[in-house]
Amino acid sequence: MNRITLFLALLVIALIQSCSETQKSDKPVITVSILPQKYFVERIAGDRFDINVLTPPGASPETYEPTPRQMKTLGTSVLYFANGYLMFEDRIADKLGREFALKTIELSRGIDLIAGDIVDHGDHVHLYGIDPHYWLSTTEVRIQAKNIMQALLLVDPDHADEYEANFADFMADIDKLDEHIRETLSQSRIRTFLIYHPALAYFARDFELEQVALETDGKEPTASHLKYIVDLAREYQINTILIQSQFNMTAAEAVAREINGRVVLVDPLPEDWLQNMYEVAHVIHQALNP
């Protein structure tokens, strides 16, 4: 009798899981390029869509090559929110045009882009000289969120009231975040921070800071540039070098030793964008107030 009961219980669990998976698979799919965009879409769309993220945790959005399964899911998506100016997006653009009848929305639309020369960062290139890290800006994320909401209203106008209400809630959270960061950084004695790879240019512009990168022309820093960085750090009494985990820490650690400082990891790509922005602001606050 116990075996029969156990079998029936397992059967019920399996049926529940099967139903759950079926329901999930029945939802329309939206594809995004990076994890923070999954957060943006879910803040506005709720759980009305399954979100296919092309760049998995720990991968570089500049060099990642989507798997065939991801491309297949991309092909069945009702929308694709592309970041814009990422290398892998450029590589799949032709395939999207040839094989998939897919509505692609570039979230860079309306962004005040930071442009310059085409820069080779060793492991990737900034396409057309555009810095693509605008998801790390409260100002520019407001624009991206509006682009997302407008696209959702077109593909699913029946839930317009819900999307507009969710958008308003998201904007309120961004306003609180922005106010918190401005208040946190306003009294900082130092306005310059050091970072290995210059991913925080939009953040720096938002909050009137200066980002100085250890990279030179996208390559390992030269001896002369390292001396410049050390001299700058001593002049401004900077004791922190920020670096992303996917980069070699040798140069950053060498500078830290010279200035009796430290190397601190900063992550630009967690899924929980809002919480991460608070954490990034805290890290920069600590760096500006040694």
Cβ-based neighbours of 172, under 8 Å, separated by 6 or more: none
Q: Looking at the domain assignment, is residue 29 inside a domain?
A: yes
What value does the mean pLDDT take over residues 141-147?
Answer: 98
Q: Is the same domain home to 94 and 218?
A: no
Where a domain ends, among 144, 179, 214?
179
* Domains contained in the chain, number: 2
The answer, yes or no, to whether residue 24 has pLDDT greater than 70, is no
Q: Indicate if 169 and 211 belong to the same structural domain.
A: no
Note whether 103 and 244 are same-domain residues: no
Does residue 232 lie within any of the structural domains? yes
- Strands (E) in 49-173, as ranges, are 50-53, 79-82, 104-106
Residue 38 lies in a domain: yes
The answer to whether residue 269 sits within a structural domain is yes
Q: Both 45 and 136 in a single domain?
A: yes
The verdict on residue 9 lying in a domain is: no
> What tokens were used for 243?
């670096």
Is residue 94 very low, low, confident or very high in pLDDT (cuts 50, 70, 90)? low
158 and 44 in a common domain: yes
Q: How far is CA 199 from the centre of its chain?
A: 10
Give the Å distances, CA to CA, from 214 to 30, 124, 189, 252: 37, 16, 22, 8
- Kindly state the average pLDDT of the residues 71-98: 83
Last-in-domain residue among 128, 155, 179: 179
Are 26 and 151 in a shared domain?
A: yes
The answer to whether residues 167 and 62 belong to one domain is: yes
Q: What is the C-alpha to C-alpha distance for residues 66 and 172, in angstroms, rounded to an integer?
A: 34
Q: Which of 159, 179, 199 marks a domain boundary?
A: 179
13 pLDDT band, cuts 50/70/90, is very low
- Is residue 166 domain-shared with residue 27, that is, in the same domain? yes
* pLDDT exceeds cutoff 60 at 179: yes
The closest of 196, 77, 224, 55 to 135, measured between CA atoms, is 55
Going by pLDDT thresholds of 50, 70 and 90, the confidence category of residue 86 is confident
Out of 68-82, 97-111, 271-285, which region has the weakest mean confidence (pLDDT)?
Answer: 97-111
Identify whether 2 is part of a domain: no
Residue 247: band (very low, low, confident or very high) from pLDDT cuts 50, 70, 90? confident
Is residue 154 classed as helix, strand or coil in its secondary structure?
Answer: helix
Q: pLDDT tens digits, residue range 202-245? A: 999 999 999 999 987 667 889 999 999 999 999 999 999 999 88
- % pLDDT > 90, the chain: 65
In a domain, 6, yes or no: no
| pLDDT tens figures, 264-285 | 999 999 999 999 999 999 999 9
The range of the structural domain enclosing residue 37 comes to 22-179
Domain match, 69 and 200 both: no
| Number of residues written out for the chain | 290
Pair (75, 164) in one structural domain: yes
Q: Which residue has the higher pLDDT, 179 or 188?
A: 179
Domain CATH code at residue 113: 3.40.50.1980
Residues 153 and 50 in one domain: yes
Residue 204 maps to a domain: yes
pLDDT grade, residue 182 (50/70/90)? very high
Within this chain, do residues 173 and 195 fall inside the same structural domain, yes or no? no
